[in-house]
Amino acid sequence: MKVCAIIPVAPSEPNTLIEKSIASLGNLDCSGFDFEAYYVIDSSGKDYSPLFGLLPPHFHIMIRNGNRGRRAGAINDIMNVTEGADCIALFDVDSRPNADFLAVCVRELTATSDGVLASGCRYVTNKVNTLTKIVSVEYKFFCDIYRFSRWSRGFIQFNGLIGVSKAPFLRATGFDERCPCEDLDISEKIYLSGNRALLAETKVGEQAPTSVQDLYNQRVRWFRGAVEGLRKYLGPMFIARVPILVKVTWLGSLTIPFFSYLLAPFVFIYCRAISVESNSLSESFKILLGLAGYACLMTLCGIVAVGQHLASRKCEWTEVARSEV
């Protein structure tokens, strides 16, 4: 079986982060696979030559002229190079998958006929301040949602579409380069086509925003994706011949975050997760209060996203500060 990994890289990403990504993906257990990895870098005039000497066998760096479609465009451009692949793995440059990630995801995909995407729970790799620890607790909540959706066979959306997909489906579907959140768009198409996403028993780490401004910008874009998803797929989803639980969980996953402030009184449910993230009782209290404020911030992001949509304002991508992990 041939598995190709695609890693889109924005021009703003430092070479040191790409180096760490190469080291991380180089540690993946690929026994039994014909594995190749493609780093697709949008041209910025930077010197990437030092990276070529760090590439393991079957790792490639491809420089793309311009940044058409950004991440979605980079994936679309490189999929033609992966024509012989049975599966396509998508990672971001900050993705840090467990060593067994590919093996476990491929096993899940081959065991089911209607599964076209498999991935694992996320965790935060850069716990450098209170905000990133708050996001880390949020990711534990997301993991519980993933597990409930797996149990109920409901709708699952993996952020960034980080995971392993069956190549024929991904090639036939392609990425809409105009979508604010192409991962949500593909996820909706998965279920509308009668297929589903699978939660595998593995994990992948990623970086959380380190500033409130970066978090705000990221989540406004995510909410714009939800608004666009409701506008585009509300009708098709409810007339589609898919299980009722898929319809209900899809609608809930897109609408409930707009009312996140209602969840603020219930953050104490994750006291154990908070204590794991904390080094002291005072820090635990700070994270607990931060989570309540965080829930209100998410609702504000949702309101801003709706306002931008009504004003026909274009969704802007912004650079995010990175940690050296």
**pTM for the whole thing?**
0.94
Read off φ and ψ for residue 5, nearest 5 degrees.
-100, 135
Torsion (CA) 170, 171, 177, 181 in degrees, nearest 10: 0
Please choose, from the candidates 33, 123, 31, 159, the residue with its C-alpha nearest in 3D space to the C-alpha of residue 84: 33
Q: What is the pLDDT, as a whole number, of residue 84?
A: 87
Q: Round to whole Å and give the CA distance between 31 and 316.
A: 41
Q: What is the pLDDT, as a whole number, of residue 52?
A: 85
Domains of the chain: 2-310 (3.90.550.10)
Q: Round to whole Å and give the CA distance between 105 and 95.
A: 15
Under a CB-based contact definition with an 8 Å cutoff, are residues 121 and 146 in contact?
A: yes
Q: What is the pLDDT, as a whole number, of residue 222?
A: 93
Q: What is the pLDDT, as a whole number, of residue 68?
A: 79
Q: What is the pLDDT, as a whole number, of residue 172?
A: 92
Q: What is the pLDDT, as a whole number, of residue 232?
A: 94
pLDDT tens across the length of the chain (325 residues): 999 999 999 888 888 999 999 999 999 999 888 999 999 998 777 788 888 888 998 999 998 887 777 888 889 888 888 888 999 999 999 999 999 999 999 999 999 999 999 999 999 999 999 999 999 999 999 999 999 999 999 999 999 899 999 999 999 998 888 887 889 999 999 999 999 999 999 999 999 999 999 999 999 999 999 999 999 999 999 999 999 999 999 999 999 999 999 988 888 899 999 999 998 999 999 999 999 999 999 999 999 999 999 998 887 777 788 887 8
Read off φ and ψ for residue 89, nearest 5 degrees.
-100, 130
Under a CB-based contact definition with an 8 Å cutoff, are residues 190 and 269 in contact?
A: no
Q: What is the pLDDT, as a whole number, of residue 181?
A: 86
CA–CA–CA angle 2, 123, 191 (5° rounding): 55
Q: Round to whole Å and give the CA distance between 268 and 141.
A: 12
